[in-house]
């Protein structure tokens, strides 16, 4: 028995549950890509699949819509895989454990992947139902959206004739997203050398943080576990000779890290512990509202690696405290919109290096490049390097949008109010696709998804139902 089989619309939740049974984290999308291709073959649909795993499914217009302009429906196949502490699920090999609670679909112990599995489910449900009237549909499923939109960058758009795009990758019902920031991934690498050091080995752990999406929630003032760890380590190093062994935190560049940890060797254990306690008290006051669960723990441990030498430790602590993080500029044109930010999402230690990977976002290409240069300048002073990947452009607002006008009219009819038209700081693939399809008119919508990119993620069932009716009416009226 399927967990969601009693939910309406049945087609949407059936395909969503089937999708959730297939592991589909970023860089692990081949199986779900093949599943989409099998869907198309079973129904005789024109389809394309590329080496990146992107899939295009095409269904011709239903009777009466042959002369209408084609409509593109687009979403991404990959999800952010995050787990609660102690969760043993192998998200690379195991499907999700779905359940329904308080009117929402959730996944036990993990992220749900409603971002953007609901787009895939809705599109497949439309293609699967011959009673739904629509123009020629060109459904585009991309991969690796969550790690830099690399699927969209690699997509061959030549099979696509449409110039109206309905993107289903928004997380707030009633909001029409019409512009977004551009972004990139910046990986800072610091070479380190190691040498023996006599002292007490200690494990430092930062936990209990809320985390969240580094685009849509960067303005909420939440603590970044990797940056907090840097402050704790620097405070300890200011009171006693300290050598860093390892430092780790986060798992996705576009998710605000909830946990981080380090191993150090301290010459004066008591001084190191006292410094950590004092910094923990200060951090607790700073984040009392945004992160009331913040915890810093220092415990004795065994280390299996040789500590970094003094120079490498000093450079590592400088890197962890001086690298920029968080909001860098607010928009002067759109009140309340974050214009430029970056998030230290992944901190990792190898035998000969310490790496910090950032998600960089900006509505202005010049400010995004400014952050690239700032990171390079600091890392050059420390003897390190910065590599940039997954660079994608901003999606600029379009003054004349017949699709937005139609959707606004339908929204008024169904909801009795105007939709919220907004630009967002998070990235969506519309900017990349607009570069491949000149003249593209696109709007991004979606049902209510809460706490995406965290194990608290949940999808509102009633919202899915309303957005489904809305999408069907947009297709029906697109003659």
pLDDT tens sequence across 268-284: 999 999 999 999 999 99
316-375 pLDDT tens trace: 999 999 999 999 999 888 888 999 999 999 999 999 999 999 999 998 889 999 999 999
Candidates 237, 183, 202, 169; CA nearest to 345 is 183
Residues involved in catalysis:
78, 145
pLDDT at 28 over 90: yes
Please give the share of the chain, as a percent, with pLDDT higher than 70.
100
Sequence-separated (6 or more) residues with CB below 8 Å from residue 220? 212, 290
The residue with tokens 């150090």 is 264
CA distance 249 to 143: 25
461-476 and 402-415 helices, crossing angle to 10°: 130
pLDDT (tens digit per residue) in 82-115: 999 999 999 999 999 999 999 999 999 999 999 9
pLDDT value for 390: 82
pLDDT digits (tens, 9 = 90+) for 8-25: 999 999 999 999 999 999
Average pLDDT, the chain: 96
Out of 3.30.70.360, 3.90.1150.10, 3.30.70.3170, 3.40.190.10, select the CATH number for domain 184-390.
Answer: 3.30.70.360
Q: Is the pLDDT of residue 160 over 80?
A: yes
Cα–Cα distance, 235 to 243 (Å, whole number): 13
Q: What average pLDDT does this structure show over 307-320?
A: 98
Query: Domain-by-domain residue ranges, the chain?
Result: 10-181+394-476, 184-390
| pLDDT tens track for 210-224 | 999 999 899 999 999
pLDDT single digits (tens) 29-66: 999 999 999 999 999 999 999 999 999 999 999 999 99
d(CA 75, CA 395): 16
By the 10 Å C-beta count (0-12 exposed, 13-18 middle, 19+ buried), 277 is classed as middle
Instruction: Please check whether the domain covering 10-181+394-476 is classified as CATH 3.40.630.10.
Output: yes
> What six digits make up the tokens of 284?
């607790």
pLDDT band at 435 (very low <50, low <70, confident <90, very high): confident
CA distance 305 to 192: 13
Phi-psi region of 34 (alpha: psi -120 to 50; beta: other; left: phi over 0): alpha
Task: Answer yes or no: is pLDDT of 74 > 90.
Answer: yes
The CB density around residue 340, as the number of other CB atoms within 10 Å, is 21
Task: Report, as an integer, the average pLDDT of 170-199.
Answer: 95
The Cα–Cα gap between 373 and 362 comes to 14
**What's the CA gap between 452 and 426, in Å, rounded?**
12
pLDDT of residue 440: 94
Burial 433-468 (b: 16+ CB within 10 A, else e): bbeebeebbbbbbbbbbbbbbbbbbbbbbebbbbbb
Listed in order, strand segments (DSSP E) in 42-83 are 46-49, 55-59, 71-76
Among the listed ranges 181-190, 227-236, 388-397, 449-458, which one has the minimum average pLDDT value?
388-397
**Distance of alpha carbon 458 from the chain centroid:** 15
Cα 30 → chain centroid: 19
């Amino acid at each position: 028995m399927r967990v969601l089989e009693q939910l309406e619309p049945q087609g949407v939740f059936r395909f969503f549950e089937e999708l959730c049974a297939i592991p589909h984290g970023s860089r692990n999308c081949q199986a779900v890509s093949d599943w989409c291709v099998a869907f198309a073959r079973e129904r005789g649909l024109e389809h394309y699949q590329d080496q990146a795993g992107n899939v295009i499914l095409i269904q011709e217009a239903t009777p009466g819509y042959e002369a209408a302009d084609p409509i593109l429906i687009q979403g991404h196949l990959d999800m952010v895989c995050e787990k609660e502490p102690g969760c043993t699920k192998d998200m690379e090999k195991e499907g999700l454990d779905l359940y329904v609670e308080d009117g929402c679909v959730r996944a036990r112990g993990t992220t749900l992947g409603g971002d953007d599995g609901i787009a895939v489910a809705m599109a497949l449900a439309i293609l699967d139902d011959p009673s739904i009237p629509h123009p020629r549909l060109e459904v585009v499923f991309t991969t690796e959206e969550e790690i830099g939109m690399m699927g969209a960058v690699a997509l061959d758009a030549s099979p696509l004739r449409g110039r109206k795009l309905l993107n289903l990758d928004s997380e707030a019902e009633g909001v029409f997203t019409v512009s977004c920031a551009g972004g990139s991934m910046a990986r800072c690498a610091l070479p380190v050398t190691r040498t023996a050091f006599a002292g007490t080995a200690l494990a430092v752990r930062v936990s209990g943080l809320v985390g969240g999406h580094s685009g849509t929630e960067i303005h909420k003032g939440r603590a970044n576990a990797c940056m907090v760890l840097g402050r704790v380590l620097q405070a300890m190093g200011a009171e006693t000779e300290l050598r860093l062994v390892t430092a780790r935190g986060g798992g996705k560049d576009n998710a605000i890290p909830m946990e981080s940890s380090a191993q150090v060797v301290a010459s004066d254990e008591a001084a190191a512990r006292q410094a950590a306690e004092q910094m923990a008290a200060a951090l607790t006051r700073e984040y009392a509202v945004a992160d009331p669960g913040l915890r810093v723990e220092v415990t004795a441990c065994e280390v299996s690696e040789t500590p970094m030498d003094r120079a490498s430790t000093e450079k590592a602590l400088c890197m962890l405290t001086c690298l920029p993080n968080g909001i860098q500029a607010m928009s002067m044109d759109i009140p309340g919109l974050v214009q430029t930010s970056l998030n230290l999402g992944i901190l990792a230690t190898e035998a000969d290096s310490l790496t910090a990977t950032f998600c960089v976002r900006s509505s202005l290409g010049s400010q995004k490049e400014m952050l690239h240069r700032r990171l390079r300048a600091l890392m050059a002073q420390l003897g390190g390097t910065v590599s940039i990947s997954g660079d994608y452009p901003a999606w600029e607002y379009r003054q004349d949008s017949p699709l937005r006008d139609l959707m606004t009219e339908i929204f008024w009819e169904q909801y009795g109010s105007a939709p919220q038209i907004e630009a967002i700081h998070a990235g969506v693939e519309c900017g990349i696709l607009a570069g491949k399809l000149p003249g593209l008119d696109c709007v991004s919508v979606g049902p209510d998804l809460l706490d995406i990119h965290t194990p608290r993620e949940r999808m509102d069932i009633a919202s899915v139902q309303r957005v489904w009716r809305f999408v069907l009416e947009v297709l029906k009226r697109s003659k």
